[in-house]
Amino acid sequence: MEYIEFDWWKFILFMILIGLFLAGIDRLMRKVFKVEKRKSFSHNHLNEQHKKWDWTLRIVVFSLMVVSLFINVSRDMSDSWYLAPWTLIFLLIFLSEGLRAFMEWKHASNRRQYVYTISMMGVYIIFLVAVLIIINSKGFEVWFY
């Protein structure tokens, strides 16, 4: 088997550029929709109902991840891609942000907040699909090996 060296510095630079790009898009979208910046890495629940639904959603997806762990150990992952951990994590993010947008539409004082949330979810989905295409193509090998 041939050993191919991975260029970590290229990967780290790529991840920094991704972070800067997404931060720039976030800042631009906040200015366009005139919404305040959320606290980073916090849940920011709008009310108790949102908090209850969000935690229920997280517990259900986490339980699915635990069950999928036992199922995936005995099967080929390509047979059950829908039970793969990354699929469930993306599902959690999509559902959690969808719930946030719904709650902002119903309860937020700034009505543009939910449009911002949906727009950013769209940006992240497009960006994620692009990165997955790069990883699954020869582009990943060309850039980082």
Instruction: Report d(CA 58, CA 95) in Å as an integer.
Output: 9
Q: Which residue has the tokens 């709008």?
A: 46
Residue spans of the domains in the chain: they are: 8-37+46-144
CA dist 3 to 6, 142, 145, Å?
Answer: 10, 15, 11
Q: Residues 6-45: pLDDT tens digits? A: 677 877 888 899 889 999 999 999 999 999 888 776 678 8
**By mean pLDDT, which of 13-17, 36-40, 89-93, 104-108 is the weakest?**
36-40
Assess whether pLDDT exceeds 60 at residue 96. yes
- The two three-digit tokens of residue 2, written as one number: 């041939």
Spatial CA neighbour of 135 closest among 24, 23, 11, 1: 11
Look up the pTM and report it.
Answer: 0.76
